[in-house]
């Protein structure tokens, strides 16, 4: 007999997470055998690529090091020559000698920089070629993957859970006729993803949609202007003066803002007014001190007692995650 899932959070942590992991490994092994690929050969090739990537990063580091050192030596030599020419600081002869030494040293860096650059290019070319081979090796396996494999693995892991191959009109009509779902929700929205199914025999749809809303946006702008005026100075002479000023302006206009939001639609005759909330509750506030824990336990006991009151019209039900639900 398939048992209902009353504590999904704890069962995911203690059971479903590990169950999904080993089912995923089994599925991968099954697809690998069906594809006929040589897994060990692909692993060896991937390891070769990793070694080549490490070598290419090392070569790129050497290329950057020699390049930066070359620029510094040339710049230092130029500064030394300029200082010697202007006779600003130090002995000009010493400065010229230092500049010459810097130029000679920089010339010695050209060869290792060129070798590092050439090695980096060759390694990148080899890496890309081996990656193409690796992808070719994986083509038979990748061809066996279908979009619904993760859904089937989840369905096999969690009891009383069934997923639809795709969101059908029949499922939508069922939610509308039997559970009163209003189609007005779809107005001015674009559905990005939708997955429907049954849990404990009750239909559900979860997904993500994109919508647009108008918000106020403050646009700011500046403009620099200048003008000339004729003025008379204290000696009685007339001359022109140029003035400069920066003009600033702001204007508030509506701006379309596009946002994405996730949704869950769940139909259940036993809970027609059911609503979900993932907002932090007051129980999630406060520190972890003794008095905070005592206050939290006291509030939970009150909520548990209130949840057991069948005569209350609010039909409040306390969930297992007290910090959010």
Q: Token digits for 88? A: 């600003």
SS3 167: coil
Cα–Cα distance, 231 to 233 (Å, whole number): 6
More reliable by pLDDT, 201 or 5: 201
Question: Cα–Cα distances in Å, from 270 out to 86, 107, 179?
Answer: 93, 84, 11
pLDDT for res 285: 59
Average pLDDT in the chain? 85
85-99, 120-134, 255-269, 284-298: least confident range: 284-298
Residue ranges of domains in the chain, CATH in brackets: 8-142 (1.10.287), 164-276 (no CATH)
- For residue 307, name the pLDDT band (cuts at 50, 70, 90): low
Instruction: Over range 124-141, report the average pLDDT.
Output: 95
**Range name among 137-146, 160-169, 222-231, 249-258 with the lowest pLDDT average:** 160-169
- Structure tokens that stand for 48 in this block: 């070769």
Q: What does the block give as tokens for 137?
A: 């090796």
Phi-psi region of 58 (alpha: psi -120 to 50; beta: other; left: phi over 0): alpha
Q: For 200-227, what is the mean pLDDT? A: 92
Burial of 95 (0-12, 13-18, 19+ CB in 10 A): buried
Count of CB atoms within 10 A of residue 132's CB?
A: 10
Q: How confident is the model at residue 303 (pLDDT cuts 50, 70, 90)?
A: low
Choose the weakest-confidence range: 88-97, 196-205, 214-223, 252-261: 88-97
Q: Where are the alpha helices (DSSP H) in the chain?
A: 8-11, 17-35, 39-86, 92-142, 149-157, 169-179, 290-307
Q: 3-state class of 157 per DSSP?
A: helix
Q: What number of other Cβ atoms are within 10 A of residue 87's Cβ? A: 10
* Measured CA angle at 31 (ends 26, 32), to 5 deg: 95
Check whether 107 has a pLDDT greater than 80. yes
Task: State the pLDDT at residue 283.
Answer: 60
């Amino acid at each position: 007999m398939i048992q209902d899932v009353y504590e999904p959070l704890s069962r995911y942590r203690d059971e479903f997470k590990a169950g999904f992991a080993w089912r995923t490994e089994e599925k991968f092994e099954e697809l690998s055998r069906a594809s006929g690929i040589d897994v060990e050969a692909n692993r060896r090739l991937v390891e070769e690529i990793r070694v080549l990537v490490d070598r290419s990063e090392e070569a790129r580091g050497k290329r950057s090091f020699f390049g930066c050192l070359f620029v510094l030596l040339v710049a230092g030599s130029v500064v030394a020559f300029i200082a010697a020419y202007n006779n600003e600081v130090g002995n000009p002869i010493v400065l010229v000698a230092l500049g010459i030494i810097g130029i000679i040293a920089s010339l010695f860096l050209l060869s290792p920089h060129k070798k590092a650059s050439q090695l980096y290019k060759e390694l990148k070319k080899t890496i890309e070629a081996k990656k193409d081979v690796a992808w070719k090796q994986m083509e038979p396996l990748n061809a066996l993957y279908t979009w619904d494999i993760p859904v089937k693995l989840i369905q096999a892991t969690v009891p009383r859970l069934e997923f639809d191959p795709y969101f059908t009109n029949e499922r939508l009509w069922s939610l509308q006729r039997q559970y009163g779902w209003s189609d007005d929700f779809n107005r001015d929205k674009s559905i990005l993803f939708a997955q429907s199914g049954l849990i404990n025999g009750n239909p559900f749809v979860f997904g993500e949609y994109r919508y647009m809303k108008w918000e106020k946006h403050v646009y700011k702008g500046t403009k620099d202007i200048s003008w000339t005026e004729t003025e008379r100075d204290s000696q009685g002479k007339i001359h022109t003066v140029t003035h400069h000023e920066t003009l600033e302006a702001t204007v508030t206009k509506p701006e379309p803002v596009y946002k994405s939001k996730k949704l869950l639609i769940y139909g259940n005759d036993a809970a027609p007014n059911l609503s979900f909330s993932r907002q932090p509750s007051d129980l999630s506030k406060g520190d972890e001190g003794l008095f905070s824990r005592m206050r939290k336990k006291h509030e939970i006991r009150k909520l548990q007692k209130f949840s057991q009151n069948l005569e209350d019209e609010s039909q409040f039900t306390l969930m297992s995650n007290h910090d959010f639900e």
